[in-house]
Amino acid sequence: MDTVMFVHGHPLDGRVWGPQAEAAAAAGYRVLSPALRGYRDGPRAGPVVTIADHADDLAAVVGRGTGGVGGVAVVGVSMGGQIALELYRRHPRSVAALVLCGTTAAGETAQGRADRLAQAERLERDGMVGHTHRTLPLMVGPATSSGTQDLVRDMMLRTPARGAAASQRGRADRADLRPLLPRIAVPTLVLVGDDDPYVPVEQAALMAARIPGAALRVIAGAAHLPSLEQPAATTDALLRHLAPAVEPLRAGV
């Protein structure tokens, strides 16, 4: 299959994978970069949008993008990686390869569930400004350029608060997908920043070790968004993974 689908995280949009999407297109791949339900330019959301809802939405995107034949390489960051795993669980024929960046397969803890539900209420009450101010330093490291920080800030501020809250409620009750990992039968790359405050390198390595044949790439000098903090290294890792897993379009073919 010649198609790569980039899945953004929370509370972001497709620009989080901008450098990699551009490089994949230049290398001859067909690129899909759908907006998730409730996020900027995506379908409107109700009070709760589950990870399974997002996965089913993406399965429909894959079907339209491929004419219902074959799967695509799915590249997801953070919540986008959780959605990619759920997509594989629910619609395995839609997935030809996986790239999981800064993500976890574990279900939510009791404290984490309470925190997400409380955050959802704050988002709907107070909007995105306070959340962005608190969270931006965790998304990107202090050495990140001001331009990249501004881009991430803009993505967060442009996310509809209602949609962000709906996804947080859905994530609060997400399934534990760790039992799925040993059954993954497509080429898989696990990416993680070496200073990710949400997903420690050790946790990413454990996930990679449970997926048969998976590769682990630790991106130096990155926190939670290596695709923007270290775009060259992330793009290199992605294209090297895709090369044997996904057949690009060639001129004249």
Domain-located, residue 252: no
Total structural domains in the chain?
Answer: 1
pLDDT in tens, the chain (253 residues): 499 999 999 999 999 999 999 999 999 999 999 999 999 989 888 999 999 999 999 999 999 866 666 799 999 999 999 999 999 999 999 999 999 999 999 999 999 999 999 999 999 999 999 999 999 999 999 999 999 999 999 999 999 999 999 999 999 999 999 999 999 999 999 999 999 999 999 999 999 999 999 999 999 999 999 999 999 999 999 999 998 877 665 433 3
Domain-located, residue 236: yes
Q: What pLDDT does 123 receive?
A: 96
- Write down how long the chain is: 253
Task: State how far the Cα of 41 lies from the Cα of 183, in Å rounded to an integer.
Answer: 34
Which two three-digit tokens encode residue 147? 């331009």
Determine how many CB atoms are found less than 10 A away from the CB of residue 56. Answer: 16
DSSP state of 204: H
What is the distance in angstroms between the CA of the first residue and the CA of the last residue of the chain?
A: 13
Task: State how far the Cα of 170 lies from the Cα of 120, in Å rounded to an integer.
Answer: 10
CATH code of 151's domain: 3.40.50.1820
Domain-located, residue 250: no
- The residues pairing with 150 across neighbouring beta strands, listed in sequence order, are none
Q: What pLDDT does 198 receive?
A: 97
CA atoms within 13 A on the CB side of 160: 17
CA atoms within 13 A on the CB side of 6: 23
Domain-located, residue 253: no
Sign of the C-alpha dihedral computed for residues 12, 177, 185 and 204 taken in this order:
positive
Domain-located, residue 125: yes
pTM above 0.85, yes or no: yes
Q: Between the CA of residue 76 and those of 14, 128, 225, what are the distances in Å?
A: 10, 22, 11
Range of 108's domain? 3-245
Task: State how far the Cα of 202 lies from the Cα of 206, in Å rounded to an integer.
Answer: 6
Domain-located, residue 180: yes
Domain-located, residue 228: yes
Query: What is the identity of the amino acid at 204?
Result: A
The alpha carbon of residue 188 and the mean position of all alpha carbons in its chain are separated, in whole angstroms, by: 14
